[in-house]
Amino acid sequence: MPAYRAVVFDFFGTLTRSVQRGPQHAAIARSLGADPDAVVGVLNRTFRARACGRYGSAEATLRWVIEQAGGHPHPGAIRAGVPARVDALRADTQLRPDAVSALDAVRRRGVRTAVVSDCTHELPAFLPGLPVAPLLDAQIYSVEIGVCKPDPEIYLAACDALGVAPEDCLYVGDGGSHELTGAAAVGMTPVRLAAPDLANHLVFDADTNFAGRTVRSLTEVLTLLDSVPVLV
């Protein structure tokens, strides 16, 4: 079994508990003159494109979504809707109880950490204010680099930022976006987080055929690090 110099974490459903869209999203849709159910439909079917930044800035993307859902929002309403979207996503996000302690324990072992997330513009706006932010050596966001998992580029961006080879990395994720098979394809060691709450998680393109190692909590990741020598 290889040694590890870094652990790369998914964000939603991994460092966080399961995520579902809360009521603030419907309120935003109504404030912009669109039916909330229609907006949810657009959001669901365009997640990957939005997470790759295909529709431009946060304002441009929100305008596009609302127009696709039949709304005709005023530019001022869109400008107000952008921070409202950040607030809504932040409200949907609850860190796992052991997220901070697990990240801290990883770093105390001399192992570097990163988050790699398929996300839209909102996550880079609010993650820096979360308690996990100071414990992450690198943050890689799909919306900023223009590709989503399982594209090799997103994993290699994390390796470059950490100064490690893919073979030196443990990758931990719930399995959305085919992230586990993608991590394995570039040479990382993938581990599925199968926490009980994830049965209700909002997930796209789940890695349903992954048959590799599984943990039930972030704390269990530490046992994987402790079972092999750490490269320094």
Residue 179: helix, strand or coil by DSSP? helix
Distance from C-alpha of 126 to C-alpha of 117, rounded to nearest angstrom:
13
Looking at residue 205, what is its pLDDT? 67
Q: What is the mean pLDDT of each run of 10 residues along the chain (232 residues)?
A: 85 94 94 96 95 97 96 93 96 96 97 97 97 98 97 98 98 92 96 88 72 93 79 48
Tokens of 75: 């530019």
The amino acid occupying position 132 is V
Distance from C-alpha of 125 to C-alpha of 103, rounded to nearest angstrom:
21
Looking at residue 201, what is its pLDDT? 73
Distance from C-alpha of 21 to C-alpha of 40, rounded to nearest angstrom:
9
Looking at residue 54, what is its pLDDT? 97
Start-to-end CA distance of the chain, whole Å, equals 16
Distance from C-alpha of 206 to C-alpha of 204, rounded to nearest angstrom:
6
Looking at residue 202, what is its pLDDT? 72
Q: What's the whole-model pTM score?
A: 0.92
> 83: cis peptide before it, omega within 30°?
no
Distance from C-alpha of 118 to C-alpha of 176, rounded to nearest angstrom:
9
Tokens of 9: 């974490």
The position carrying tokens 């079917």 is 45
Identify any residues that bridge with 138 across adjacent strands, giving them in sequence order: 114
**Cα dihedral value 65, 69, 70, 76, nearest 10:** -30
